[in-house]
Chain A
Amino acid sequence: MVANHLEEEESYLTSKKGIASWLFTLDHKRIGIMYLASIMFFFLVGGLFAILLRVELWTAGDTIVKAKQYNQLFTLHGAIMVFLVIIPGIPASLGNFVLPLQLGAKDVAFPRLNLMSYYIYVIGAIVALSSLLVGAVDTGWTFYTPYSITTDGGVVVMVMAAFILGFSSILTGVNFISTVHKLRAPGMTWFRMPLFIWGIYATAIIQIMATPVLAITLLLLVIERVVKVGIFDPQLGGDPVLFQHFFWFYSHPAVYIMILPGMAVISELITTFSQKRIFGYKPIAYSSIAIAIISFLVWGHHMFVSGQSELVGMIFSALTFLVAIPSGVKMFNWAATMYQGSVSLATPMLWAMGFFLLFAIGGLTGCFLGTLSVDVHLHDTYFVVAHFHYVMVGGTFMAFMGGIFYWWPKITGKMYNEKMGVWSVILVVLGFNLTFFVQFIMGAQGMPRRYYHYLDQFQIYHQISTVGSFLLGFGFLFSIITLLVSLKYGKKAPPNPWHAATFEWTETASPPIEHNFHHQPISTKGPYEYDQIA
C-alpha cells in the first residue's frame, strides 16, 4: 500500500532537471551523490599512482621512474587517498545521503552549509592538484619537518589544500552533529537510532575536535616555510618534534575519522543480512564513542623512536592497547549477531565478510606495532604499510564498497547484477591479500618503506605484491563497472529489497522523493525489529 502511494510523486533524481539543478542543489541526497562521484574519481587517480608505485618496484633501482619521482608519487598517492578519498569518504557521501533518511528528517540541519562544504572540498582538491604545477611534493603525506621546510616543490600549495579540505570536514561534522541532536523523528530516542548514525555521530565529534588542530599545524607549517618564524625550524630555535606532536594529535584521531564510519556501515550490513536484531546494541553504540575518546590519547605511538622519553613511550603504548577493547567489542557483537541468524550472502554482506577478515588482520597487527619493543624493530618498514592498508583499505574501503552496494538500489532505484557483485568482492579480497600480505613478511625482514630501491632478497615479495596490485585494481574497476552497468540495464529496485527495518527502506520509495517522506515517519521501536516490518 505504501509503495503504490509513493509511485505517484517524482523522485529526487527527476523532480528537477538540468545541470544547474545539481550544482546549486540543497538536497542532501544530491550533495551526497556529488561527493560520491568526486571521491570515486580521486580514488581512481590515487589508485593510478599506487599502480605506478608498484610497477616501479618490480625491479630494484630505476624501473620506470627515478628516486625523486618515486617520492613524489608516493606523496601524491598518500595525500590524495587520505585527504580526498578516505577522510571525506563514507560520511560525506553515504552519510549525507543516508543520515537524514534514517533519522526521518527532510534534510540535514544546514543544507546551505552542506553545499558549501562540498564546494570547499572541490576547491581543496583543485588546490591539491595545482601543487603539481609548482612542482610535485616529495615529503610524504605527513609533511614532517624539517624536511618539509627545506625541500623544493609545492609544499605550501599542498599543505594549504589539506588546510582547506579540513574546513570542509569540520563543516560536515558540525552539520551532522546538529542534525542528529535536533532533527530526529518523533519517537526516535537516542537508543532507537540505527547504529550507522551512532558511528557517523562519533566520527563527527572527532572531525570537529581534531581537525582544527591540524588546521593550525598546517598553517604554522606554511608560515614557517614562507616567513621562517622559528616554530618548527631547529636552525631558528624551533622544535621539529613539536610538529610531529601536533600532526599526530590530529592524524591519529583522523584514523578513526576513517574507520568509524566503516564500522558504522558494517553494523547495518551484518544485522540486515542476518535478519536478526543486532546483538549488543548499546555496547556497539558506546564503543564508537569510546573509540572517539581514546583516539585523542594515543598519538605518541607514532613517535616511539622520535626521541620521546621511555616513560612517555610506555604510557602511550599502554593507552594504544585500550583501542583494541572497543574494537573487539564491535567484532564480537557482530559475530554474535550472525550466530543463528538467517544469514544471506548477498554482495553487501560479502563485502562485510571481507571487512571482517581484513580488519581483524589489520587491527591485530596494530597491536604488534603498539608494543613499544616490537615497534622499535618494525617502525618505518613495510610492516607498517601493510598494517595501515589492511585497516584503511581492507577495513574502511571494504565497508565503503559494502555500503555503496547496500544503498545503491535506494540511491539510484536500480538493482545491480548480483553475480557481478559477488565477483567484485572475490577479486578485491584476493588481490588485496596478494598485494599486502607479503608486505608484512618483507617488513618484518627489514624492508624499509618509502624506498624505491631494495636488496635482491626482497624482489620476490615485491613482484608478488605488484601482481596483486593489478588484480586489486581490476577488482575495484570491476565493482565500479558493475554499478555503472546497473544504471542502464539494472532492474527497477523495490522500496525495500533487503527487507531492512530502518526508515530509508521502510518509509519511502527507491529512489526517495525530493523531501524524503510523504508523511513524517514516527519511531515506535528499535531500528532492527525485522519481524515487525509491515
Chain B
Amino acid sequence: MVANQITKSHFPLAVHFANPEQQVEAGKLGMWLFLATEILLFGGLFVAYAIFHHLHPELFKAAHRFLDVKLGAINTVVLLFSSLTVVLAIHAAQKNKTHLIVLNLVITLVCAGTFLVIKYFEYTHKFHAGLLPGYFFTNATVPSPDQAHVFFGIYFMMTGLHGLHVVIGMIVLLWLLVRALKGQFGEQYYLPLELGGLYWHLVDVIWIFLFPLLYLIR
C-alpha cells in the first residue's frame, strides 16, 4: 500500500512514446476516432428512423403516445447529472483528491444503474401491453395496429443498443473505480478517467437525441 502512495501521481509512460504529452494526445485522438465510429453506428439507426418516420408520419405520432414521457424525462436528467459527476471525478484527480474521484465515480455508477432500472420498468410495461417489434406485436388499442409495430421495432432497437452502451459504460466506470481505489490517478496521470469520461458523455449525448425523437414527436 505504501508503494501505491509513492507511485500515486507517477505517469506510466509506455516504451514507444517519447513523452507523456505524446501519449496523452494519442490516447485522446484514438478515443475521439472511436467515438466517431459509435456515432456512425447509431447514424444507421437514425437514418432508418428518418425513413420510416417519413413513410408513416401519422403512425409515429399516434404510436409514440404509448411511451412514458415522464420516465423518459427522469432518465434524461439522471444521465445529464451523471455526465457532470464524471467531470467532477476528473477535476478531483487533477487536485489529487482520491476520495473525491471515488465518490464521483460511485455517484455516476448509481445514476447509470438508476437509468437501467427505469428502462427495465418501461420495457416490462411494453412487454405486458404487447407493444413489441414486428411479429410479436399484439396490442390492439394502438391506431392502425397492423403497422404500429414498425415504430416499436425502431424504439426497441434504438433504446436497446443505447442500453447496451450504458452497460458497457458501467463496466468501464467500474474499471476506473478499481484503479482509483488503488490510488493510480492523480494530477500527473488521469488519462483513463478522461477517456472513460468521453465515452460516458457519448452515451449521454446519444440519449439526448433519442429522447425527443422517440418520446416527444411534434
Contacts and interface: CB of A to CB of B under 8 A. Distances in A.
Interface of A: 105-111, 113, 170, 173-175, 177-179, 181-183, 208-209, 211-213, 215-217, 219-220, 223, 227-231, 233, 236-239, 242, 246, 515, 520
Contact of A216 (B33, B45, B52, B153): B45
A182 B26 contact: yes
A252 to B, nearest CB: 15
B136 interface: yes
A109 B42 CA distance: 26
20 contacts: A173-B33, A175-B30, A177-B29, A178-B26, A178-B33, A183-B26, A209-B37, A212-B40, A212-B43, A213-B40, A229-B135, A229-B157, A230-B135, A230-B150, A231-B48, A231-B150, A236-B134, A238-B150, A515-B15, A520-B18
A133 to B, nearest CB: 26
A212 B37 contact: yes
Contacts of A220: 44, 48, 157
B41 A174 contact: no
Interface in B179-195: none
B16 A111 contact: yes
B29 to A, nearest CB: 5
B33 A228 contact: no
A111 B16 CA distance: 9
B29 A227 contact: no
A113 to B, nearest CB: 8
B155 to A, nearest CB: 10
A9 to B, nearest CB: 15
B147 interface: yes
B122 interface: no
A233 B134 contact: yes
B36 interface: yes
Interface in B33-55: 33-34, 36-38, 40-45, 47-48, 51-52
A146 to B, nearest CB: 13
Contact of B135 (A111, A236, A515): A236
Nearest to B147: A237
A217 B47 CA distance: 11
Classify the secondary structure of B's interface with A: helix
B133 interface: yes
Interface in B3-27: 14-18, 22, 25-26
Q: 9 smallest A-B Cβ distances: which pairs? A: A216-B44, A228-B135, A106-B16, A212-B40, A230-B134, A107-B16, A229-B153, A212-B41, A182-B26
B149 interface: yes
A109 B30 contact: yes
A239 B51 contact: yes
Interface in B130-157: 133-136, 147, 149-150, 153-154, 156-157
Contacts of A223: 133, 157
Contacts of A227: 133-136
A217 B135 CA distance: 20
Given A174-B34, A183-B22, A212-B38, A231 B44 contact: no
A183 B135 contact: no
B16 A105 contact: yes
B44 A246 contact: yes
Nearest to B133: A229
Contacts of A216: 41-45
By CB atoms of chain A within 10 A, which of B14, B33, B48, B135 has the most?
B33
Contacts of B40: 209, 212-213
Contact of B150 (A109, A211, A237, A515): A237
Contacts of B150: 230-231, 236-238
Given A106-B16, A208-B37, A231-B150, 5 more contacts: A179-B26, A182-B22, A217-B44, A515-B15, A520-B18
Nearest to A204: B33
A236 B29 contact: no
A174 B37 contact: yes
B29 A178 contact: yes
Given A106-B15, A182-B22, A216-B44, A228 B134 contact: yes
A178 B26 CA distance: 6
Nearest to B45: A216
